Amino acid sequence: MNKQERMPIYEALERYKKMRIVPFDVPGHKQGQGNKELTNFLGENCLSVDVNSMKPLDNLCHPVSVIKEAESLAAEAFGAKHAFFMVGGTTSAVQAMVMTACKRGDKIIMPRNVHRSAINALVVCGAVPIYVNPGVNKELGIPLGMSYEDVKTAILQNPDAKAVLVNNPTYYGICSPLKAITELAHQHGMLVLVDEAHGTHFYFNDKLPASAMSVGADMAAVSMHKTGGSLTQSSFLLINNEVREGYVRQIINLTQTTSGSYLLMSSLDISRKNLAICGQEIFDRVIELASYARDEINKIGGFNAFGKELINGDTVYDFDVTKLSIHTREMGLAGIEVYDMLRDDYGIQIEFGDIGNVLAIISVGDKELNIERLISALSEIKRLHTKDKSGMFDHEYIDPIVAMTPQEAFYASKVSMPIGESEGQICSEFVMCYPPGIPILAPGEGITADILNYIVYAKEKGCFLTGTEDINIEYINVVAQNS
């Protein structure tokens, strides 16, 4: 039997069920007995394995038996030295990477279009970001990957930096020259951390861009739940090379729950097995579906479902074809408007819409008929809603002015003021559209007229803004002048 057929956590839970243990431990619902309504809703099977750590089921904080085995099978499947089961989302995996590499005051090189989780980690640990501007595709209004030369400049200017963080692929499917960046960083003694939240599938199909582990990166955060089929919030943290398993575990345990959910862990175990055994076939089909959809959407006219033609050997080193990103501005429609129409008028929920694009995720669970519905709905939106495109905003990336480190700014004494009047101040919190969750402003950054215009426009078009202490996003916390 192929070792990857094994599912140690799942098997242990099956054995546990057969033992008919009398539970005098937590959780208090006692295998669902104490909460009939919840059991009816989620199912008896589900509640019966929502259990606590115990000897036969191992312990996520200190794995010695079945979790340990499951982690080593996952490591093998991903080609890593070790794989950690994460139950706090890929956010926790990204934070564990940053906190493993950096302590307070250490520099870390990263693109500015990172997910909020990476900058959050800087607030927590006090590391200093050295931002590399991602390239921008002016026409599409999307941030790209980091260029090799820009990373090189940043490394040469900051030889004391501890790590380089790469976003690979971006939400839109764009990959950086990961292998070259990894080799360069290693020559300068820096760790390479990869936010691979949108790249789980890279490990299981040979037609997709290179994965972090395959090019020798040191750590990677992999969102198994995004495209790999496990339950929401479950994720893997992979390590490689000289990164020490024991130390990373300590870092994870600083913030991760001590009551790791067996629902999440078993879903990781089962999904890993599924991808290890059938991944090539599954993602061949996903690629086929996405390519078909891309071609058909481009035939409608007006929409631009972009793909590999963007590849330029540098800021777009490769493209993940399973991301169905569609540029909508030529139709006179903001991405967020198309996103809302698809849901409200056609009952189709896609991943996100921003100012100029929408993104549909095609994954292990999609079927042809649903792809046809998406294409047909887009063709209807074109027929019914095409508008004049003048007056549409045409850029997405705004160069940040970093005045203070995120941690200093977040903990500085601050004042709250109306957003509209905050030009020239230093921001002490985040402002972002969610999804995609890439900060428009991060703590420590200068507030400019450009940024304020962008926020007003995004709000007007119906983007879901988050991040500020004020839930209505009308007031913003800025660093007090005297601090």
Binding-site ranges for another protein (CB under 8 A): 345-347, 368-369, 372-373, 375-377, 379-380, 383-384
According to DSSP, the β-strands at 163-167 and 107-111 are parallel
- Residue 275 CB, shortest distance to another protein, in Å, is 24
* Continuous H helices in 168-261: 178-187, 224-227, 245-255
- Residue 256 CB, shortest distance to another protein, in Å, is 41
Q: How far apart are CA 132 and CA 287, in angstroms?
A: 31
- Residue 295 CB, shortest distance to another protein, in Å, is 12
Find tokens 């559209």 and name the residue.
433
Best CA proximity match to 262, nearest among 13, 3, 2, 8:
13
- Residue 379 CB, shortest distance to another protein, in Å, is 6
- Residue 369 CB, shortest distance to another protein, in Å, is 5
Note whether 145 and 315 are within 8 A (CB): yes
In this structure, what DSSP letter does residue 134 have?
Answer: P
Nearer to another protein, 385 or 459 (CB): 385
Nearer to another protein, 19 or 384 (CB): 384
Q: How far apart are CA 293 and CA 29, in angstroms?
A: 45
Nearer to another protein, 179 or 385 (CB): 385
Tokens of 142: 């999307």
Nearer to another protein, 288 or 368 (CB): 368
User: What 3-state DSSP class applies to 230?
Assistant: coil
Nearer to another protein, 313 or 365 (CB): 365
Best CA proximity match to 461, nearest among 357, 347, 374, 327:
357
Query: For the chain, percent helix, then strand, then coil, each to nearest 5?
Result: 40, 15, 40
- Residue 343 CB, shortest distance to another protein, in Å, is 12
Nearer to another protein, 371 or 432 (CB): 371
- Residue 94 CB, shortest distance to another protein, in Å, is 37
- Residue 328 CB, shortest distance to another protein, in Å, is 17
Nearer to another protein, 296 or 351 (CB): 296
Rg from Cα positions in the chain: 23
Note whether 282 and 65 are within 8 A (CB): no
Q: How far apart are CA 184 and CA 165, in angstroms?
A: 13
How would you label 112-126 residue by residue, b for 16+ Cβ within 10 Å and e otherwise?
bbbbbbbbbbbbbbb
- Residue 286 CB, shortest distance to another protein, in Å, is 18
Note whether 363 and 232 are within 8 A (CB): no
Nearer to another protein, 365 or 424 (CB): 365
Nearer to another protein, 197 or 362 (CB): 362
Q: How far apart are CA 69 and CA 4, in angstroms?
A: 11
Nearer to another protein, 214 or 379 (CB): 379
In this structure, what DSSP letter does residue 112 have?
Answer: T
Note whether 171 and 324 are within 8 A (CB): no
Best CA proximity match to 307, nearest among 281, 297, 138, 166:
297
Q: How far apart are CA 92 and CA 251, in angstroms?
A: 10
Neighbours of 295 (CB within 10 A): 12
Instruction: Give burial (CB, 10 Å; 0-12/13-18/19+) of 329.
Output: buried
Nearer to another protein, 347 or 391 (CB): 347
Backbone angles phi, psi at 345, to 5 degrees: -95, -30
Note whether 448 and 423 are within 8 A (CB): yes
- Residue 288 CB, shortest distance to another protein, in Å, is 15
Nearer to another protein, 155 or 381 (CB): 381
